[in-house]
Amino acid sequence: MAPLTIAIDSADDPRIAEFRDIRERDLTGRHSRFIAEGTVVLRMLAEAHLGNGDFAAEKVLLLRNRVEGVADILARLPADVPVYIAEAEVLDRIVGFHLHRGVLALGRREPKGGELIDRLPARSLVLVGCGISNHDNAGSMFRNAAAFNADAIFLDETSCDPLYRKAMRVSVGSVLSVPYQRGGDALGLLTKLAERDFAIWSLSPRGETDIRSIPPSDRMALVVGTEGEGLPQAVLSRFGSARIPQSAGLDSLNVATAAGIALFAMSAAAQRI
């Protein structure tokens, strides 16, 4: 059954105000609301909503000729989620640029009660980001975490919000499927993980242990830092450090690339238990 739609004829229509000029502004930080862009991300938002996850859809805005192609996704959303449609000219005026995908949704994050760290299973692999300020890297880290079955991502207070539109888009919606928590200082967060029996491995070009030689354990945490400065010395000196063997003379890998390689190795190690 085709979803009920509401036609939008003016970019000034107050019902779609949240979608205006989305390149110049972002909704994240405003009561945990965010913009989801593209068919894949809309599908993951619908699945998160249907599965009673941490996310809910508030409204959808579509290019008129995209309605039929996403009808199966819209059918999975609650009936009270309005679906607005517009012709290309109106949609472009709303968002402030040519939106060739033609699929947008306004979502809301509603985290479950209690600390994520206390909801992790007995066997867990988590990724911890310290000072991850680049939205492309943040999005790629979530995509890697989803690919290698990480149970959660923890970001310190200096890391960017993964709900930013660009991070969400780069993650291909994985921000909606990988449980995460953002806030607090890195050392305090890692201390909490250590208290819960996590073997903590901080990734550094000068790490002591080859990432392929990390001993398997039921609970493992991979810690990555911002490019350039890397991880704080307080973290590197307190917990185990690992390195990815690479060509001599190369300073370091992109943090998202490094995280993907290391998560693959740690996931393989976990399977040897």
pLDDT single digits (tens) 165-192 = 889 999 999 999 999 999 999 999 999 9
Cα Dmax for the chain:
62
Across the range 70-90, mean pLDDT stands at 94
Q: Structure pTM?
A: 0.91
Q: Do domains 6-109 and 116-270 have the same CATH topology?
A: no
> pLDDT at position 146, please?
96
Q: Could you tell me if 176 and 48 are in contact, meaning their C-beta atoms sit under 8 angstroms apart?
A: yes
Sequence ranges of the domains in the chain = 6-109, 116-270
Q: Which residue has the higher pLDDT, 223 or 31?
A: 223
pLDDT for the residue 99:
85
The closest of 176, 54, 163, 168 to 110, measured between CA atoms, is 54
Contact 133, 69 (CB under 8 A): no
Rounded distance between C-alpha atoms, residue 189 and residue 128, angstroms: 9
Would you state the pLDDT for residue 50? 63
Structurally, at CATH architecture level, domain 6-109 sits in: 2-Layer Sandwich (3.30)
Q: What are phi and psi of 245, to 5 degrees?
A: -60, 135
**pLDDT above 60: residue 52:** no
pLDDT digits over 2-12, tens only?
568 999 999 99
Residue of 25, 86, 87 whose CA lies nearest to 61:
86
Residue 141 has a pLDDT of: 98
C-alpha distance across the termini of the chain, in Å: 48
Question: Length of the chain, please?
Answer: 273
Position 51 confidence tier, pLDDT thresholds 50, 70, 90: low
Q: Is the pLDDT of residue 150 over 70?
A: yes
Shortest CA distance to 270 belongs to which of 181, 199, 195, 197? 199
CB-CB contact of 42 with 105 (8 Å): yes
- Predicted pLDDT of residue 48: 84
**pLDDT of 24 strictly over 80:** no
**What number of other Cβ atoms are within 10 A of residue 185's Cβ?**
14
Q: What is the mean pLDDT of residues 115-131?
A: 95
Query: Computed from CA positions of residues 21, 23, 25, 29, in that sequence, does the dihedral angle turn out positive or negative?
Result: positive
5 vs 112, more confident: 5
pLDDT above 80 for 129 = yes
Using the CB atoms, write b or e for 155-172: b if 16+ within 10 Å: bbeebbbbbbbbbbbbbb
DSSP string covering 122-135, please? SSEEEEEEES---H
Superfamily of domain 116-270: SPOUT methyltransferase, trefoil knot domain (3.40.1280.10)
Locate 38 and state its tokens. 């593209």
Please give the share of the chain, as a percent, with pLDDT higher than 70.
Answer: 93
